Structure 1
Amino acid sequence: MRRQTLTALCFAALLAAGPALAGCSSSSDGGGDDYIVVNAGEPQNPLVPSNTNENQGGRVVDRLFAGLKYYDVDGKSYNELAQSIESPDRQHYKITIKPDWTFTDGTAVTAKSFVDAWNYGALGTNGQLSSWVFSPIAGYDEVSSAPPKAQTLSGLKVVDDRTFTVDLTQPSMDFELSLGFSPFYPLPDVAYKDIKAFGEHPVGNGPYQLTAWEHNVKIEMKPNSGYHGGRPAKNNGLRFMMYQTFETAYADLLAGNLDALDTVPDGSLGLYKSELGDRAIDHPTAQNLHIGFPKDLPHFGGPEGVLRRKAISMSINREQICANIFHGARLPARDFTASTLPGFRGDLPGVQWLTYNPDEAKKLWAQADAMSPWSGGLQIAYNSDGGHQAVIEAISNSVKNTLGISAEPAPYPTFKNMRDEVTHRTIGKAFRYAWQGDYPSMFEFLTSQFLSGSETNDVDYANPEFDRLLKAALAAPTTDQAWTLLAQAQTLLLNDMADIPVLEYNAASARSDRVKAQVTWAGLFDFENIQKK
């Protein structure tokens, strides 16, 4: 799930007082009721698990639904609805769910609740952004084709109310681990009557249930008394407040109106630890930041495009950006995943393309010019409500100064504005994008973003040899063999410069003095376990 770190508009504050107002919430938001108040942004889409692939929707969906597995603060997986997940060969699975589990409308969660939801998510005509997660299941090619040759996955079978089977096209070392990822959540029957309306008022089975969604202002939820899984709410409810900027959110934190802030603004990174003491949180996470290029962007197709992307990559002084803007809260990218994930290797062949080298960058740019002389300028899109201005300006200036071309930031007012253009392939310029892990695996980062045909492959990268290596790694008998094959796959990504990896993240987060809170392996708060002191 692409979970971009961003904030959205706090219209209540803007309409009431204009830009001079420092905070978006009143004092009652922070301590005057039972809610834990956390920063957030407006979800891109209605809250349907298989169509939520960004972190503002994701942080809400993961509270409202429960899957077969869940992940703790360190990324360790546990069974949630699954009583057992059995497989003799990592290809054929028998899954038994726990009894007496219901959705918040009182209907039972059954094996069919999972099978129907997975079939809905996989069917190409439903246009679900996370449909790629079902690609290992037998029959996916038939349901995802246009037009579809089948309406349901042949690899899914309901045995009885509590049992279903899953047949994959090949063995997978990643499949069972992935079953806590949101597209694998079950759905109640009511969802299919009007899926868009359901997304506005979701009926889930997770540790919380939705009580209010005031678009562009806040989302509120209270604990679900019917939840009896391994991550019960240890607070009396969550209020996701939507902010225009991280600076405004940080001011609210200092003023006592916000309990947890997942991203300290760039301008406060040099001081927040001394300012907040033990309320400052510095935690390695599985997140990265890339620059993507539409496949039809002039000068960025074919061999010319490979040379230009490599030249731009070598024009970016990542170390300087990490030190001067982020004060160590970001690290230079060394691959297409994150260094916190099992199997990471920071010395892949081709990693030199991710190293600042102005002289080599100019040579590569000249080689590209010999193919087709450069014209126009480079624009890099980013969402203004996400705190990305400084890093995109730094990247643009670094490219401009090294290559002598026009390179400019292209701000979009909101994350949704930009993501809609990226999703619909109308953006027409380079763009900032990021990935935040949904489960602790390099496979998720690579499959979601670079597998041919993935709905979340924003740059439309397609290389049959990469696809083959990825699938071979999934089927490998040992993890060491899998990591070796993934290294080969990433070497292809580097040679093709599929996009430009720029940074990976350490979480620079903060909490109020009223609560105890931790940041997870993926960079979001462990929401269920935030407790008031």
Structure 2
Amino acid sequence: MIRAGAALGTALVVLGGLAGCGTAAAGRAPDTIVVGTIEEYATSVTPGDALGSPIDLAVFTPPTRLDPGSGNALPAAAESLTTADNRTWTIRFRPGTFHDGTPVTAQSFADSWNVTADPARGMLNNAMLAPVEGYDAMNADPAAATTLSGGRVLDEHTLTLTLAEPNVLLPAILSSVAFAPLPRVALDPPSPGAQPPVDSGAFDTAPVGNGPFRAEPWSPRTRDVVLHRFDGYTAGPPAGVGTIENRVFADTTAMYPEFEAGTIDVAAVDGDDLSQARTAYPDQVVDTPYPALVHLSFPGDDPRFSPDVRRALGLAVDRRALADGLLDGRALPARGLLPDSVPGGGALDCPSCGYDPALARELLAGAGGWQGPLTLHTYQEPGNDQVLAALANQWRRNLGITDVRFVIQPLSQLRTELLERTTTGPSLLYAAAGFPDLYGLADPLFAADGSYNFAGFADPRTDDLLAGAAAAPDPATATTRAREAAEAGLASTPVLPLYHPVAGLLHAREVRGVTPEFYGNAHLAGLTLEGRR
């Protein structure tokens, strides 16, 4: 079971702008790239609280990294991972140093994982440690342990990690920045009785990592984050440029104008900005399908939404028209849970994913029709109201449901109502895979205690199939079993898949090496410059 602490809401995959007329601004330092970023990414890069942003992965390097082409997990800070049973893993780490010159050791990783798993610290990525033996004891009430019993340091560069259950996908899971190490300076109080920096918050904006870039301390008010190449990096190739300036914006909409004004060099653009960029800079946009699903989640205890009603609503939606029309090519119609770019993604046996208005009307009539208003919920985000309106129009035309109402509220408020099961209709939500495999989304969506399972869906067969995927002898078998589990979940239609968002990485002509990471952000260490004057 992967109880990933996945965030509900939009993809926080915003990476900055470009330069006027597609060329970097004059006067920029010759070995510097300016990248736009969003406020959330400049809040904390501490592994236990990090969002997996490009800044996080520039300052910290976890045990493994994901190959951008195949999605396979490759060694990074770890030199090797070996196991005989997929439950007890021996991890050998590369010799290296933190940015303050202190050594990176196996204990550095064990310390970091214990900090994140400690419920008293309230860290965002706490649940990422759930697969490790001893997590449940640490997170019991009252706590029965203060450290993870599954992490045992053998020597300076080796530890064993024992899981509560076998999981062949552990190498991919370890690519999360949540598993990066912490130096002693993050854990030692500056004076007797004081909080350690990682607890006081001081480390959040003055981090000491093991990644290809070291960060200058930044102000929580200005939040612009300046990164310099770390010459002592040993976990991969050195950074391609000497300095990355991360310019902070409130949201993505401010970045495209800044690119056109020549103040930033690299940007992740979406919405109308992506459509404009494709026209204005066709050779400078790298499309990035998100490993994510926009879907409708139904209240599981509302008898009005029977399986036939849910299926009827799904079959009455023309996803291709939604993706190509309203979203103007900024989405891929969902035929399953994840796009083809993710192992196990692509088309599944999904009874509600097709477009068949006649069958939809038949199913709805057989279920007794629809009486009264149909309320749709979502969170405040530009464009969500237009998607709800498009759904309402299609249901009005294809099913005769004329009274469709919208409730649009702050994300935190909607999440509270979802957890308390007080919503009165389907909710338009975004869900991202926790790592590059179909299992990374199928488990949180369909497992009985999954972090995205707001419908309260519980099916023993689906749970057994998910457990079988994690316990598979090899990744290929795990992916096959995850597909079976996903199809079992979709058969009951607790969620209606709609589309996979697509964004773009926009770059100045001089910027090379623009490669998206798993969540669509640019890989900062791979960026290079060519011919800047």
TM-score, normalised relative to structure 1: 0.81
Deviations 1:18-73 (A, max 9, x none): xxxxx99xx998863454233322218643323344xxx63322222111112243
Q: How much does 1:291 deviate? A: 3.0
Calculate the aligned-residue CA RMSD, in Å.
Answer: 3.6
Q: Using a 3 Å threshold, how does the CA distance of structure 1 residues 46 and 247 change in structure 2: closer, same or farther?
A: closer
Letter in 1 for 2:284: R
d(CA) in 1 for partners of 2:509 and 2:473? 49
Task: Considering fraction of residues, name the structure with more helix.
Answer: 1
Deviations 1:115-152 (A, max 9, x none): 22223333445444433433332233333333333332
Q: How much does 1:432 deviate? A: 3.8
d(CA) in 2 for partners of 1:310 and 1:501? 11
Match of 1:314 in 2: 315
Match of 2:49 in 1: 51
Q: How much does 1:184 deviate? A: 1.2
d(CA) in 2 for partners of 1:30 and 1:315? 53
Match of 1:195 in 2: 199
CA contact (8 A) 2:49 2:125 kept: yes
Asked if 1:41 is matched to 2:46, the reply is no
Deviations 1:404-448 (A, max 9, x none): 244355555xxxx51575268479545443344554222222234
Deviations 1:339-373 (A, max 9, x none): 2222335142xx13012333444455556667xx7
Q: Using a 3 Å threshold, how does the CA distance of structure 1 residues 527 and 242 change in structure 2: closer, same or farther?
A: same
Match of 2:93 in 1: 97
Q: How much does 1:513 deviate? A: 2.3
Q: Using a 3 Å threshold, how does the CA distance of structure 1 residues 234 and 320 change in structure 2: closer, same or farther?
A: same
> What secondary structure does 2:104 align onto?
coil
d(CA) in 2 for partners of 1:88 and 1:217? 46
Asked if 1:205 is matched to 2:210, the reply is yes
Counterpart among 223, 227, 241 of residue 221 in structure 1: 227
Counterpart among 508, 524, 529 of residue 527 in structure 1: 524
CA contact (8 A) 1:283 1:519 kept: no
CA contact (8 A) 1:132 1:455 kept: no
> What secondary structure does 2:65 align onto?
strand
Match of 1:171 in 2: 166
Q: Using a 3 Å threshold, how does the CA distance of structure 1 residues 226 and 434 change in structure 2: closer, same or farther?
A: farther
Q: Using a 3 Å threshold, how does the CA distance of structure 1 residues 115 and 396 change in structure 2: closer, same or farther?
A: farther
**5+ residue gaps in structure 2?**
1-5, 188-195
Q: Using a 3 Å threshold, how does the CA distance of structure 1 residues 175 and 31 change in structure 2: closer, same or farther?
A: farther
Deviations 1:380-419 (A, max 9, x none): 323335x55543442343345445244355555xxxx515
Letter in 2 for 1:502: L
d(CA) in 1 for partners of 2:157 and 2:24? 45
CA contact (8 A) 1:379 1:409 kept: yes
Match of 1:15 in 2: none
Q: Using a 3 Å threshold, how does the CA distance of structure 1 residues 383 and 255 change in structure 2: closer, same or farther?
A: same
Letter in 1 for 2:404: A
Asked if 1:249 is matched to 2:244, the reply is no
Letter in 1 for 2:464: R
CA contact (8 A) 1:6 1:40 kept: no
Match of 2:443 in 1: 447
Match of 1:418 in 2: 411
> What secondary structure does 1:159 align onto?
strand
d(CA) in 2 for partners of 1:426 and 1:213? 37
Match of 2:193 in 1: none
Deviations 1:286-310 (A, max 9, x none): 3332233566xxxx54683545543
Match of 1:13 in 2: none
d(CA) in 2 for partners of 1:51 and 1:505? 25
Counterpart among 133, 155, 159 of residue 160 in structure 1: 155
Between stretches 197-206 and 474-483, larger displacement belongs to 474-483
Q: How much does 1:216 deviate? A: 7.7
**5+ residue gaps in structure 1?**
11-22
Alignment of 1:479-494 (within 5 A): 479-494=475-490
d(CA) in 1 for partners of 2:285 and 2:24? 23
Letter in 1 for 2:521: L
Asked if 1:355 is matched to 2:361, the reply is no
d(CA) in 2 for partners of 1:185 and 1:144? 21
CA contact (8 A) 1:337 1:446 kept: no
Match of 1:397 in 2: 393
CA contact (8 A) 1:311 1:360 kept: yes
Q: How much does 1:165 deviate? A: 0.7
Between stretches 458-467 and 257-266, larger displacement belongs to 458-467
Q: How much does 1:500 deviate? A: 2.4
CA contact (8 A) 2:505 2:521 kept: no
CA contact (8 A) 1:63 1:207 kept: yes
Alignment of 1:72-471 (within 5 A): 72-74=67-69, 75-102=71-98, 104-192=99-187, 193=196, 194-195=198-199, 197=201, 198-211=203-216, 212-215=218-221, 218-243=224-249, 246-266=252-272, 269=275, 272-293=277-298, 301=302, 304=305, 306-344=307-345, 346-348=347-349, 351-365=350-364, 376-384=373-381, 388-403=384-399, 404-411=401-408, 417-419=410-412, 421-422=414-415, 425=419, 429=423, 430-437=426-433, 439-455=435-451, 457=453, 461-471=457-467
> What secondary structure does 1:51 align onto?
coil
Match of 1:14 in 2: none
Q: Using a 3 Å threshold, how does the CA distance of structure 1 residues 302 and 168 change in structure 2: closer, same or farther?
A: farther
d(CA) in 1 for partners of 2:365 and 2:246? 49
Between stretches 168-177 and 63-72, larger displacement belongs to 168-177
Q: How much does 1:231 deviate? A: 4.3
Asked if 1:474 is matched to 2:470, the reply is yes
Counterpart among 488, 495, 498 of residue 499 in structure 1: 495
> What secondary structure does 1:95 align onto?
strand
d(CA) in 2 for partners of 1:264 and 1:330? 10
Q: How much does 1:472 deviate? A: 0.7
Letter in 2 for 1:516: R
Match of 1:62 in 2: 57
Q: How much does 1:96 deviate? A: 1.8
d(CA) in 1 for partners of 2:405 and 2:247? 31
Q: How much does 1:170 deviate? A: 3.5
Q: How much does 1:479 deviate? A: 4.6
> What secondary structure does 2:149 align onto?
coil
The percent of aligned pairs where both chains have the same amino acid is 24
